[in-house]
Amino acid sequence: MSRLVKILLLGAGAIAVSAATAACGTQKISVPRSNATVYQGAVLFSQRCAGCHTLSAAGTHGSAANVRSAQAINGPNFDQRCERPIDRVLYAIENGGFSGAYMPQNIVVGQDAIDVAKFVATYAGRAAPTQVGVTNCIDRPIGTLPAGSGTLAAGQPTATIAQRTRIVVAVARTRTATPKSRTKK
């Protein structure tokens, strides 16, 4: 066998090994498509949240595996952390998490935010360790969205928290403004 053929075979073998290794460990969304809302939430979570959060149902691995190697942008591992009830998740989405340090506010909005919140509330905490005296995450109720949290009972969109805040401020300004007919000249 000539030297050129050996080099080509070694190169092809190295490429094959690297391609096979790169495919190892990749996961896909494991939420059934039959539950369209939760599946759409998993897709959005995979697209928007994968860089910082881990949740195996969405195939994401953004959290640090070791606290000592963690970076500031590594978000909570939702395989380990319970996120119920659903209004807690929606609050975090609208307000940039609970610390407000790195997660952008309203990373998803409207029905997309509700879909992500339903997905996270449904699948988070499934690998959490059992603690004595603490109810397991999967045994806790998922809860319901409170009135005015982005949907009405019929599913029609309403204002977000930020929009409601702007409306309240605008109404307060108009009530405190002095009408022109009453101003002194």
Is it the case that residue 169 has pLDDT exceeding 50?
A: no
Is it the case that residue 139 has pLDDT exceeding 80?
A: yes
Measured in residues, the chain has a length of 185
Counted domains in the chain: 1
Which among 57, 25, 64, 52 is positioned nearest to 41, based on CA atoms? 57
Provide the CATH number for the domain around residue 97: 1.10.760.10
Angle at 140 between CA 115 and CA 77, to 5 degrees: 60
Q: Does residue 5 form part of some domain?
A: no
Q: Does residue 152 form part of some domain?
A: no
The residue to which tokens 């998993």 are assigned: 42
Task: Give, as one character, the DSSP assignment of residue 128.
Answer: P
Predicted TM-score (pTM) above 0.85: no
Cis-peptide into 157, omega within 30 deg: no
Report the pLDDT value the prediction gives residue 98, as an integer from 0 to 100: 85
Q: Residue 145 is which amino acid? A: L
Mean pLDDT of 50-59: 93
Q: Does residue 55 form part of some domain?
A: yes
Report the pLDDT value the prediction gives residue 149, as an integer from 0 to 100: 57
At residue 111 the predicted structure's pLDDT band, cuts being 50, 70 and 90, is: very high
Residues near 127 by beta carbon (within 8 Å), at least 6 away in sequence = 56, 79, 80
Is it the case that residue 2 has pLDDT exceeding 70?
A: yes
Residue ranges making up the domain that contains 70: 26-143
Q: Does residue 109 form part of some domain?
A: yes
Reduced to 3 states (helix: H, G, I; strand: E, B; else coil), residue 54 is strand
Is it the case that residue 147 has pLDDT exceeding 90?
A: no
> Bigger pLDDT: 11 or 4?
4
Mean pLDDT of 68-81: 88
